[in-house]
Chains A and B, each alone.
Chain A
């Protein structure tokens, strides 16, 4: 039981940046703009938030800075793919490469620690929050264990992601006027345009949401998880989030379940490191790391279910005259 709870506990922790980034990608891709730049935006946000949190000693200002930096890159992506009708994939790749380049360059110049940021002080970091009564009922079987072991003791961003962002995104996409327009623009921009919806405006707004969520994801990594910025610290998480988004067929709840699944695989892998299993022996960690990517490939190919992308994805919208 205790093993299981700690496993699920780390699943939630590992999944949080994935959830935020996947939901970020959801906005962009549902509006018809491919976003392979999640990785770069998270990395930039991780850097900006760590730098500002270090300078001001305030994690919330760090969060703001992270969201601002990621939004700037989102706007760049929007400028290329919406205003200039450029290739969205190439733009996303440019975002990633620019992020990998600029973060260590600025990092070295500002902190002189080989491109990383210094370790943040305790006040400058987000901390685990203990929910009320978590300690007192920790010994109650099952309920107490779940409450204090699994639900309590996470960083504020975790609660924000699961209790605020996820419902909000689901509501926005499916129940709000903006969400309807978002989906319309992503499926058939010409029809949406005929109905008087500004495709450009909706796509810019979508990328604005995208940037803010990416910023939260990046901030989680540097200002909470490691407590400092480390070169290339996203290490493919942006692509993993993209995989989860596809895995969830571009729907918020399913995408989040994809993130939880991938995070669970990750948590299991960390625990299995060097532990021989009965009959099979020791499983190399790489075998588990590879699962999300293989699953995504299989899903895209239609071998396990079918992932159908928003119809207008990747196609620049040129208003017919």
Chain B
């Protein structure tokens, strides 16, 4: 399995024109669908943009979703660099929620915030990584295909978590399958509270401190993947596994570590959702964020800067799409799924569609 064949395009064009063109194609198709169902695409786009970026609360929600997508995008990218397609981010994030919940339930009566919060993050990363470890081990040692295994693991995680939430962790006396509320010492500080501390007042949204964590994760991702020995090995395995093995790298170990890093990053998205926003675990709280990560990583070309930008795009689409569905009763929020699918199609599947056209254009220019 190879991703991102060597391109003949100049690097800047690869990183700017190509994603823009792909996004444009996706939006164009969505526009046609919007027109078919009898709405004005431009008007819808205007409502969507305003809903996502036009007012304080909208921006807060956009950045909240962006935080999720940065983590899941980085997760998919980490595996991509090793030549692996981790489609199991959803299940890994779900299991990370279990890690968080168990940690909170065990310690939120005894430990203070400063110890409990890092502990929860570690638990999220450990559970996410552990759920990715099994498919990784199976791929590296037993040769079972990682995509199929991670798909199966997504379903296994659904069943497992439905059982655990429905039968074991459910709040006593509650009708809904949801856990009890976490203690306040396990709440990630909300952005409005953090900024109020330095005298800036913003509207109250679920946006929280995890956002900074996501940005730090991007920097670390860049340093590790492009400026560390391990990152070099990771990319070598992704480019040519045989060469890596011949050069004396431990391919098995690198595949397993890459998947664990991927699972841990997915897990951090749950920190944002559970500790930052809902403060309790619901059934299916992940709500597809793991799958959005695939679109984000593909569009961001597996680079942190690209991932931040495309996470922002999908955050804006998610939030703007919600606003749009309120404003237009004829449009559902699944419209965003359609855009997401088209982005995956154009950026991932049809990556060879626009590139030769562009490449010949650049050649002629020389």
Contacts and interface: CB of A to CB of B under 8 A. Distances in A.
Contact of A94 (B138, B344, B353): B344
A290 B162 CA distance: 11
Contacts of A167: none
A153 interface: no
B348 interface: yes
A91 B349 contact: yes
A197 interface: no
A136 B3 CA distance: 63
Contacts of B87: 36, 89, 93
Contacts of B38: 109
Contact of A90 (B85, B144, B352): B85
Contacts of B352: 84-86
Contacts of B36: 106
Given A84-B352, A239-B155, A300-B144, A93 B337 contact: no
A142 interface: no
A115 interface: yes
Given A101-B336, A284-B163, A300 B341 contact: no
Q: Which of A94, A115, A309 has the most CB of B within 10 A?
A: A94
Contacts of A74: none
Interface string B280-296: 00000000000100110
Q: Which of B145, B167, B331 has the most CB of A within 10 A?
A: B145
Contact of B332 (A90, A104, A284): A104
B152 A297 contact: yes
Contact of B337 (A97, A112, A242, A290): A97
B337 A100 contact: yes
A211 to B, nearest CB: 17
What's the dominant secondary structure at chain A's contact region? helix
B348 A309 contact: no
B349 A284 contact: no
B341 A96 contact: yes
Contact of B153 (A103, A297, A302): A297
Q: Which of A36, A98, A104, A287 has the most CB of B within 10 A?
A: A98
A97 B163 contact: no
A65 to B, nearest CB: 16
A296 B148 contact: yes
B348 A90 contact: yes
Interface in B320-352: 330-332, 334-342, 344-345, 348-352
Interface in B55-94: 85, 87
B208 to A, nearest CB: 28
Contacts of B156: 290, 293-294, 297
B138 A101 contact: no
Given A94-B348, A96-B341, A300-B144, A87 B1 contact: yes
B337 A101 contact: yes
Nearest to A96: B341
B351 A97 contact: no
Given A36-B147, A301-B138, A94 B155 contact: no
Contacts of B21: none
Contacts of A20: none
Contacts of A206: none
A292 to B, nearest CB: 8
A263 to B, nearest CB: 16
Contacts of B159: 286-287, 289-290, 293
A300 to B, nearest CB: 4
Interface string B24-53: 000000000100111000000000000000
Interface string A266-305: 0000000000000000001011011001101100111000
Given A93-B294, A93-B344, A293 B350 contact: no
A34 B334 CA distance: 26
Interface in A242-270: 242-243, 246
Given A90-B298, A101-B334, A101-B336, A314 B349 contact: no
Given A93-B291, A284-B167, A296-B148, A102 B349 contact: no
Given A239-B151, A297-B138, A105 B332 contact: yes
A300 B351 CA distance: 30
Nearest to B29: A98
Contacts of A90: 85, 294, 298, 344, 348-349
Interface in B104-160: 138, 142-145, 147-149, 151-153, 155-156, 159-160
A293 B150 CA distance: 10
Interface in B258-272: none
B328 to A, nearest CB: 10
Contact of B37 (A109, A231, A246, A287): A109
A80 interface: yes
A293 B156 CA distance: 7
A288 to B, nearest CB: 9
Interface of B: 1, 3, 33, 36-38, 85, 87, 138, 142-145, 147-149, 151-153, 155-156, 159-160, 162-163, 166-167, 291, 294-295, 298, 330-332, 334-342, 344-345, 348-353
The 6 closest A-B pairs by CB, nearest first: A101-B338, A97-B341, A101-B337, A98-B341, A109-B37, A90-B348
Given A101-B340, A286-B163, A300-B142, 6 more contacts: A87-B85, A90-B349, A98-B341, A100-B341, A103-B334, A114-B332
28 contacts: A80-B345, A80-B349, A84-B350, A87-B1, A89-B1, A97-B291, A97-B295, A97-B337, A97-B344, A101-B334, A104-B332, A105-B335, A106-B33, A108-B332, A109-B37, A115-B332, A242-B151, A286-B160, A287-B159, A293-B152, A293-B153, A293-B156, A296-B148, A296-B152, A301-B142, A301-B144, A301-B149, A309-B145
